[in-house]
């Protein structure tokens, strides 16, 4: 994809000083998003995907520190921005949607006021203007009777409705980029589909870019153009969704795809990935996936493979990625 | 208000997206709390008697009549007799209540505000801010409440203003501790992270998002704190450090009547009973409120 990048994360590293030693939940992550693009970030629990998202807006827990790398948004490095200037970007230009719509809304504040708060703070709207905008947004995200619901509290809403409120909050200041942290994980599948369609539709209408963190591969396929696969704090594969899903070039991606159900092949049994995610305090030597990898060779245990760029804007961090292609070939 | 909530209007057909509204039903039941209700009724009666004093007595509480000292109950139109200077005890009881209640309310509001501000800063920012504030709290807590208040009033001089300052200087620590603890827990909630991701300032997050969630505990505590404050004020006046003569106040009345306890027992006992009933009313309200709000949050 050409054109100026909207967000560029380069070689980001985050450290948490823990009791057993220094934990590195993010260890050299590079990502880029072009305007209007939807990028998915997938991986197992603890792979550092949510942490990556939080570090973009400087929302890491207090004991976590960005030790190197940069998050460049519109020419400025967000990791070095003072708090006051960061607050002008948060919510205004980059918004975030959280996983749990139950807990991400303030239980004692009327939902309308929660939506109207952003425009009042960032766009300098008067109370009346922001109320009008909030009602308009509630209508756009498909909340029936927005004038009446404006005065409701979050507990009066169902999970799906609450997530619509979250989307309305995220859209309230017309941001250029929305970061989604597993926004549909807590919802049941039919609601999930509605919410995803809504999100994609609204972002397309306004040209908003999306960064979408999830462990749910079909969701990525539905929402995103590009996908990056994370494993143990690193990106192991990157490319367009269609290419990565049809021709994975990293054994971890291959295993992930096999462990997820596919509606087109209902009879196929699911193959779990053996072993468990590595410790982030003392990760394995060489390629971090080698203890669980079906193709691992001696050299995988020794040399730490970098993310190599391949043709067609793809990248993989596997020394023997051709074997994935062979594997798909034999299966087909 | 009670008419509004007591009226069981037919509920509108619940739309599928709207779950049951526990807040509503909780509010509708406040009047069924016997403790709260008894406390409120008592307090309303006390407040009415104190502030409607001109209707209940024709005597001026401070007019001396040295020709009629120490009259008995009901003598010469004096319902509760007169004190050693011939002032009507009933009038002094009512007007004195005004003074004590007013001082008590102010003396609970000031530490409430100060403690909540300081406690939210400590809880929200943590780190060295929290460490410094909480060490100061520890120092203040190390002294018994009454000892510190009496010592401070000694230093500051007698009168209402000194009482406010002394009680505020000592009382804020409880509110600071409660608020700090509650905010330390609440700030880990995702809605705070969401507010931060929305670019809201720390002040706005504390005042608009966190405090409305955590303030109920402090309100409940304030209700029991005000009982302690009334006792403190009466005690200070009894010791001659509080409200100064000739202004009527329950503490000075108890202290002055002491000398006549064998012959005119009511001069001391009646203001004492007034203190007890007022304290009881406020304690009942505090307990009832605690029950009401706790069932709501669990």
CA distance B264 to B254: 12
pLDDT value of residue A126: 94
**Which CATH code for domain A7-93+173-331?**
3.40.50.300
Which residues is A70 bridged to in the sheet?
A: A10
Please report where in the chains the tokens 């918004």 appear, as a residue: A95
Reply yes or no: is the peptide bond before residue A7 cis, omega within 30 of 0.
no
As given in the structure block, the two tokens for residue A283 are 């990760």
Distances (CA, A) of A49 to A54, A226, A230, B55, B76: 9, 15, 7, 73, 87
Instruction: Inspect the interface and report whether the beta carbons of B198 and A95 lie closer than 8 Å.
Output: yes
CA distance B179 to B194: 21
**Residue ranges of the domains in chain A?**
7-93+173-331
What per-residue confidence (pLDDT) applies to B271?
Answer: 94
Report the alpha-carbon distance of residue A311 to residue A247 in Å, rounded: 13
**Does the pLDDT at position B212 exceed 80?**
yes
Average pLDDT over residues B37-50: 94
Q: Would the CB atoms of A107 and B201 count as touching at under 8 Å?
A: no
Alpha-carbon gap: A218 to the closest alpha carbon of chain B (Å)? 26
Instruction: Please tell me the predicted confidence (pLDDT) of residue B296.
Output: 53
Residue A169: its chain B contacts at CB < 8 A? Answer: 194, 198
pLDDT at residue number B10: 42
> How many alpha carbons lie under 13 Å from residue B229 in its C-beta half-sphere?
32
Structure tokens at B13: 């057909």
The answer, yes or no, to whether residue B16 has pLDDT greater than 80, is no
Residues contacting A198, CB < 8 A, separation 6+: A141, A142, A164, A167
What secondary structure letter does DSSP report for A297? -
Contact pairs from chain A to chain B, CB under 8 Å: 87
CA distance B26 to chain A (A): 14
* CA-based end-to-end distance of chain A: 30
Q: Is the pLDDT of residue B95 over 60?
A: yes
- Domains in chain B (CATH in brackets) are 50-56+80-297 (1.10.3720.10)
**Is B24 in the A-facing interface, judged by CB distances under 8 Å?**
no
Asked whether the beta carbons of B177 and B137 are under 8 A apart, the reply is yes
pLDDT of residue A186: 80
Q: For the residues B215-236, what does the mean pLDDT come to? A: 90
Name the stretches of chain A with pLDDT < 50: 1-2, 332
pLDDT at B31: 74
Using the Cβ of A103 and the Cβ atoms of chain B, whether some distance falls under 8 Å is answered with: yes
Residue among A59, A99, A109 whose CB faces B196 most closely: A59
A209 bridge partner residues: A177
- Region B75-95: what's the mean pLDDT? 89
Binary contact (A104, B204; C-beta < 8 A)? no
CA dist A222 and B104 (Å) reads 64
Number of other residues whose CB lies within 10 A of the CB of residue A88: 13
Q: Which of B190, B193, B212 sits opposite A108 (nearest CB)?
A: B212
pLDDT tens track for B137-161:
999 999 999 999 999 999 998 888 8
- Contacts of B30-38 with CB under 8 Å at 24 or more apart are B30/B5, B30/B292, B31/B2, B31/B5, B31/B6, B33/B288, B33/B291, B33/B292, B34/B288, B35/B284, B35/B285, B35/B287, B35/B288, B35/B291, B36/B284, B36/B285, B36/B287, B36/B288, B36/B289, B36/B291, B36/B292, B37/B288, B38/B281, B38/B284
pLDDT at B20: 42
* Lowest mean pLDDT segment, chosen from B113-127, B242-256, B266-280: B242-256
Which tokens hold the place of B93? 């009881």
pLDDT at B298: 40
Per-residue tokens: A180:
């989604």
Check residue A332 and give its pLDDT. Answer: 46
Inter-chain residue contact A95 with B201, CB threshold 8 Å? no
Q: What integer pLDDT is reported at residue B32 of this predicted model? A: 77
């Amino acid at each position: 994809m050409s054109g100026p990048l909207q967000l560029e994360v380069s070689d980001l590293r985050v450290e948490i000083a823990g009791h057993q030693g220094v934990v590195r939940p993010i260890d050299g992550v590079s990502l880029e998003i072009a305007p209007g693009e939807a990028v998915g970030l997938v991986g197992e629990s603890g792979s550092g995907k949510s942490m990556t998202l939080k570090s973009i807006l400087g929302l890491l827990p207090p004991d976590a520190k960005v030790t190197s790398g940069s998050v460049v948004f519109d020419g400025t490095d967000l990791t070095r921005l003072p708090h006051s200037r960061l607050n002008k970007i948060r919510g205004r230009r980059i918004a975030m949607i959280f996983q749990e719509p139950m807990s991400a809304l303030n239980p004692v504040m009327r939902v309308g006021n929660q939506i109207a708060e952003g425009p009042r703070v960032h766009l300098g709207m008067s109370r009346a203007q922001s109320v009008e905008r909030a009602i308009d947004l509630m209508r756009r995200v498909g909340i029936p009777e927005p004038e009446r619901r404006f005065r409701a509290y979050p507990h009066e809403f169902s999970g799906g409705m609450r997530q619509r409120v979250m989307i309305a909050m995220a859209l309230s200041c017309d941001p250029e980029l929305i970061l989604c942290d597993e926004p549909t994980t807590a919802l049941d599948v039919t609601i999930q589909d509605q919410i995803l369609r809504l999100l994609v539709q609204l972002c397309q209408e306004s040209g908003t870019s999306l960064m979408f963190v999830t462990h749910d591969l079909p969701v990525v396929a539905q929402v995103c153009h590009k996908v990056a696969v994370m494993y143990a704090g690193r990106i192991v594969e990157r490319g367009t969704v269609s290419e990565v899903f049809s021709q994975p070039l990293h054994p971890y991606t291959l295993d992930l795809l096999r462990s997820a159900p596919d509606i087109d092949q209902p009879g196929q049994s699911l193959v779990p990935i053996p072993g468990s995610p590595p410790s982030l305090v003392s990760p394995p030597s060489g390629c971090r996936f080698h203890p669980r990898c079906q193709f691992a060779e001696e050299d995988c245990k020794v040399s730490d493979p970098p993310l190599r760029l391949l043709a067609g804007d793809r990248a993989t961090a596997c020394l023997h990625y051709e074997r994935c292609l062979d594997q798909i070939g034999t299966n087909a | 208000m009670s008419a509004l909530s007591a009226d069981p209007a037919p509920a509108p057909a619940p739309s599928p997206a709207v779950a049951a509204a526990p807040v509503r039903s909780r509010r509708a039941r406040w009047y069924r709390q016997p403790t709260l209700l008894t406390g409120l009724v008592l307090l309303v009666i006390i407040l009415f008697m104190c502030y409607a004093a001109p209707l209940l007595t024709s005597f001026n509480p401070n007019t001396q009549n040295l020709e009629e000292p120490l009259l008995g109950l009901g003598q010469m139109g004096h319902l509760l007799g007169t004190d050693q200077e011939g002032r009507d005890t009933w009038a002094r009881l009512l007007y004195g209540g005004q003074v004590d209640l007013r001082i008590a309310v102010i003396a609970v509001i000031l530490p409430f505000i100060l403690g909540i501000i300081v406690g939210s800063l400590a809880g929200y920012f943590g780190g060295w801010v929290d460490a410094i504030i909480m060490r100061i709290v520890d120092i203040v807590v190390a002294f018994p409440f009454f000892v510190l208040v009496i010592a401070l009033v000694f230093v500051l001089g007698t009168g209402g203003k000194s009482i406010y300052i002394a009680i505020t200087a000592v009382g804020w620590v409880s509110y600071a501790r409660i608020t700090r603890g509650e905010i330390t827990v609440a700030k880990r909630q995702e809605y705070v992270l969401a507010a931060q991701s929305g670019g809201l300032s720390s002040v706005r997050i504390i005042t608009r998002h966190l405090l409305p969630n955590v303030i109920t505990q402090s309100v409940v505590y304030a209700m029991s704190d005000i009982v302690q404050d009334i006792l403190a004020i009466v005690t200070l006046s009894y010791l001659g450090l509080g409200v100064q003569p000739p202004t009527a106040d329950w503490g000075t009345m108890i202290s002055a009547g002491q000398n006549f306890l064998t012959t005119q027992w009511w001069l001391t006992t009646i203001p004492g009973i007034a203190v007890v009933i007022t304290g009881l009313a406020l304690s009942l309200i505090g307990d009832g409120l605690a029950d009401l709000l706790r069932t709501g949050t669990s």
